[in-house]
A and B are shown apart, each in its own frame.
Chain A
Amino acid sequence: MSAKVTERVSERAATVLVVEDEKLIRRFVRTALEGEGCRVFEAATSAQGLIEAGQQKPDLVVLDLGLPDGNGIDFIRHLRGWSDVPILVLSARAHEKDKIQALDVGADDYLTKPFGVGELRARARALLRRQSRDGEGATPIMEFGDVRVDFSRRAVTRKGDALHLTPIEYRLLCVLLANSGKVMTQRHLLREVWGPSCVESNHYLRVYLGHLRQKLEDDPTQPKYLLTETGVGYRFQP
């Protein structure tokens, strides 16, 4: 499956830029991604990373938030000034604020250190796939588990039975599905679903996401698709 994905990105292999100051971490990230068929470029500092990003026009940037020269947040801001390449952030646990900030200024996903090859590849694949799908237009129908969502008819069914979703629940589901695989910060979801004046009302989001889980998940206490990224936000995992 992975081979197919990278083929679809373009005729050439997908290029990935790894911005990380620790040589050994760079090395295994390179190994893991080259195993996926990607071409990997490395940068040890944020300044070098920006230059490389300009020259190589990568399809994905893997960025360590704790760089020796300036923080990763500034790097993302710079990069977002002229590029919408997907950014995967590497960060330590207990640094939720950094993660949220990174996501809010434009990062697409994060990985908590330490992480394995499998997790890294899965995230990278998801981001590259999203990248390649952009411009193809949204699919009118999405399916996950027993659930089928028909966007054209605004209909949701589970095991063939029609499900009743309230307008907010439906809108929340749509936002999550539209950003499939991507972490959505609470602030972002609140703004999308409730509007910009409600970005502080986190408990609304939590309650409505609970409703969605009740209706869509087999075991709402151990969800498979509507995942919580504790302290950060939510993610729809197809």
Chain B
Amino acid sequence: MSFVPKPSVGAFPSLLAWQRFALALLACAATALIATPLLKYLDLANIVMLFLLTVLLIGVSLGLAPALLAAFVSVGMFDFFFVPPRFSFEVHDGQYLVTFAVMLAVAIITGQLTAGLRRQADESAAEALRTHALYEMARDLSGALMLEQVVDITRDFLHKVLNAESTILLPDSTGRLQACSGQKSARLQIEPRLAIMAYDGGKPVDCVQLADSGYAELYLPLKASQRVRGVVAVASSESGLAPEFLHTQQQRLETMASLVAIAVERVHYVDVAQNTQVQIVSERLRSSILSALSHDLRTPLTALVGLADSLTISKPPLAEAALETAEAIREQAERLAGLVGNLLDMARLNAGDVTLQKEWQPIEEVIGSSIKLLGRALAEHPVKVSLAKDVPLIEFDAVLIERVFCNLLENAAKYSPPGLAIEIAVHLRDGKLEVAVSDSGQGFAVDKDHAVFEMFVRGQPESSTPGVGLGLAICRAIVEAHAGTITAANRAQGGACVTFSLPLGEPPRIEEEVLAQEDGRQSCNP
């Protein structure tokens, strides 16, 4: 069904123009045929009435133009068939000329009036249907859950009601307007400048010159409660349609645009809410899996370390060999615990599950605590720490940077012969804090010095030293989370050196202590 007004088409809109005219002619001929036998009983004036009735009926049923044709044909037929001398256009009595003139005038006026009434009835019916369609569209839009649905509903509405093509343009993440692809492909071309004008200005932009060019000619902003959400571009699709038609419908189009805008905004918020929901659920799931995993892996390892250790104090004491075995079990279990810790850390860091607990603190504090933490693992390697003068407070997550030091020191101890020192040097360079941890071992295999920071890559691939190659990957993840950099190199004098840097930033001011204030509480804030 189309609601687009055509030149008045009467009651049979499916008929072609020539069929309409043929029908009109047939009707006139039929009237003449019926009236011929009645001539004996009726006055000529009544025959005229029959023809006028026919024109009226044609005007109602077939429209204005057939009615006008019928008016002329009726006058002709009346003259030819009924006015004496019959079967000729000759008229002997001059009075009949008046009859013809009046008959023609009445027929034309009747045809026009009836056809006009018909058209008005049609138009108001179409208008009612359009209003109804708008209502239905509003109802459909209120049920739409996805943008594609909104686009399709809009397109269907415009196609059905105004016989127009349309596309919805929405801003993408960078704020540029993009045609929103519905399920049906759009053939409509968009003039981007006009769309942007409508989007930025919040007013409809109308370019009559673009009609029938394949470009959209009307750009309506989608004004929602918060802001303009996009633009709907409309073009009348059928050539030959009155170009002003779209513009007569502007009021309705604007109503439609605000309905679409509300729907787009609603869908947008549904999306936002859904994403948040999904994010919350997946984060909760991830951290519960990680903590369950960490609990399930650590509990047996804790038991293993402890039980192996408690063998060494059993009474009566175990034989020497058994004691050594118990010691070895403990060591291996501890190493395993370390590996599990690294794996879980890596999983956490990769999952983005780590929020940095950054605080301003001296770097030497974590150096000291990591050396203390490693304890036995560093027993055979003295650690030399050289700290440049006036290193300021640095903002970092102490637990994570301690992990970096532990991993680097552990590596250094693992890969260098016993008795050789491990060096930690801290100094400032290029507005950054630079920390170098170096050993005197065999160093990294050549051309491996960058890959060692990848997961499961080891400096010495066939090394008999235990490890899976996660330590440095964790270091990199942590340092990069602090906006720092980390590099590995071999020292000229032999041995590996891993250097990482942390940004300096602006440390908070520390109030100098006032010595006179002997017993009062010191202020911590300026």
Residues of chain A whose beta carbon lies under 8 Å from any beta carbon of chain B? 22, 24-25, 27-29, 31-32, 35, 66, 92-94, 96, 113-118, 120, 166-168, 190, 193-195, 197-198, 201-204, 206-207, 209-210, 219-223, 227-231
Report how far A206 CA is from B396 CA in the complex, Å: 13
Report how far A116 CA is from B468 CA in the complex, Å: 24
Residues in A whose Cβ lies below 8 Å from that of B200: none
Report how far A92 CA is from B294 CA in the complex, Å: 9
B299's closest neighbor in chain A, by CB? A22
Residues in B whose Cβ lies below 8 Å from that of A194: 521-524
Residues in A whose Cβ lies below 8 Å from that of B373: 230
Report how far A30 CA is from B310 CA in the complex, Å: 10
Report how far A197 CA is from B521 CA in the complex, Å: 10
Q: Which of B330, B348, B523 contacts A116 (CB 8 A)?
A: B330
Decide if B365 touches A210 in the complex (CB within 8 Å).
yes
Task: Please tell me if B244 contacts chain A, counting CB pairs below 8 Å.
Answer: no
Q: Which of B307, B399, B525 contacts A94 (CB 8 A)?
A: B399
B397's closest neighbor in chain A, by CB? A231
B376's closest neighbor in chain A, by CB? A116
The SS class assigned to the B binding surface is helix
Report how far A194 CA is from B523 CA in the complex, Å: 7
What is the CB-to-nearest-CB distance from B288 to chain A, in angstroms, rounded to a whole number?
Answer: 13
Decide if B524 touches A167 in the complex (CB within 8 Å).
no
Which B residues between 138 and 188 are near A, CB-CB below 8 angstroms?
none
**Which of B341, B357, B368 has most chain A Cβ within 10 Å?**
B368
Decide if A32 touches B313 in the complex (CB within 8 Å).
yes
Decide if A222 touches B303 in the complex (CB within 8 Å).
no
Report how far A229 CA is from B366 CA in the complex, Å: 9
Decide if A203 touches B303 in the complex (CB within 8 Å).
no
Decide if B365 touches A228 in the complex (CB within 8 Å).
yes
* Size category, B interface: 35 or more
Q: Which one of B117-125, B221-229, B511-519 is at the interface?
A: B511-519
Decide if A25 touches B303 in the complex (CB within 8 Å).
yes
Decide if B294 touches A94 in the complex (CB within 8 Å).
yes
Decide if B303 touches A24 in the complex (CB within 8 Å).
yes
Residues in B whose Cβ lies below 8 Å from that of A207: 362, 393, 510
What is the CB-to-nearest-CB distance from A219 to chain B, in angstroms, rounded to a whole number?
Answer: 8
Identify the 7 closest CB pairs spanning chains A and B, nearest first.
A198-B524, A24-B303, A28-B306, A114-B305, A221-B385, A114-B302, A201-B524
Decide if B368 touches A206 in the complex (CB within 8 Å).
no
Report how far A166 CA is from B515 CA in the complex, Å: 7
Task: Please tell me if B295 contacts chain A, counting CB pairs below 8 Å.
Answer: yes
Residues in B whose Cβ lies below 8 Å from that of A229: 369
What is the CB-to-nearest-CB distance from B334 to chain A, in angstroms, rounded to a whole number?
Answer: 7
Task: Please tell me if B398 contacts chain A, counting CB pairs below 8 Å.
Answer: yes
Task: Please tell me if B419 contacts chain A, counting CB pairs below 8 Å.
Answer: no
Decide if B519 touches A167 in the complex (CB within 8 Å).
yes
Residues in A whose Cβ lies below 8 Å from that of B369: 227-230
A-B pairs with CB below 8 Å: how many?
153
Residues in B whose Cβ lies below 8 Å from that of A221: 364, 367-368, 385, 387
Task: Please tell me if B252 contacts chain A, counting CB pairs below 8 Å.
Answer: no
B357's closest neighbor in chain A, by CB? A231
With contact pairs A113-B298, A114-B334 given, residues A206 and B519 touching in the complex (Cβ less than 8 Å): no
Q: C-beta contact mask, B357-384 vs A, less than 8 Å → 1, else 0?
A: 1011110111111111100000000010
Residues in B whose Cβ lies below 8 Å from that of A204: 510, 524
With contact pairs A116-B309, A117-B313, A207-B362 given, residues A168 and B333 touching in the complex (Cβ less than 8 Å): no
Residues in B whose Cβ lies below 8 Å from that of A203: 359-361, 393, 507-508, 510
B508's closest neighbor in chain A, by CB? A203
Q: C-beta contact mask, B324-339 vs A, less than 8 Å → 1, else 0?
A: 0000001001100100
What is the CB-to-nearest-CB distance from B405 to chain A, in angstroms, rounded to a whole number?
Answer: 10
Decide if B303 touches A230 in the complex (CB within 8 Å).
no
Task: Please tell me if B434 contacts chain A, counting CB pairs below 8 Å.
Answer: no
Q: Which of B333, B362, B519 contacts A210 (CB 8 A)?
A: B362
With contact pairs A204-B524, A220-B364, A221-B368 given, residues A32 and B310 touching in the complex (Cβ less than 8 Å): yes
Task: Please tell me if B31 contacts chain A, counting CB pairs below 8 Å.
Answer: no
Q: Which of A93, A190, A222 contacts B383 (CB 8 A)?
A: A222
Decide if B310 touches A28 in the complex (CB within 8 Å).
yes
Decide if B513 touches A117 in the complex (CB within 8 Å).
no
Residues in B whose Cβ lies below 8 Å from that of A114: 298, 301-302, 304-306, 333-334, 337
Instruction: Knowing that A32-B313, A203-B359, A227-B368 touch, tell me 6 more A-B residue pairs with CB under 8 angstroms.
Output: A66-B295, A94-B348, A114-B333, A210-B365, A228-B366, A231-B398
Task: Please tell me if B312 contacts chain A, counting CB pairs below 8 Å.
Answer: yes
Residues in A whose Cβ lies below 8 Å from that of B367: 221-222
A-B contact pairs, 11 of them (CB 8 A): A24-B303, A25-B306, A32-B306, A96-B357, A114-B333, A166-B515, A195-B521, A197-B524, A209-B365, A220-B364, A222-B371
B344's closest neighbor in chain A, by CB? A94
Residues in B whose Cβ lies below 8 Å from that of A22: 299, 302-303
What is the CB-to-nearest-CB distance from B379 to chain A, in angstroms, rounded to a whole number?
Answer: 14
Decide if A28 touches B309 in the complex (CB within 8 Å).
yes
B359's closest neighbor in chain A, by CB? A202
Report how far A118 CA is from B399 CA in the complex, Å: 24
What is the CB-to-nearest-CB distance from A105 to chain B, in angstroms, rounded to a whole number?
Answer: 20
Q: C-beta contact mask, B483-526 vs A, less than 8 Å → 1, else 0?
A: 00000000000000000000000011010010101110111110
B507's closest neighbor in chain A, by CB? A203
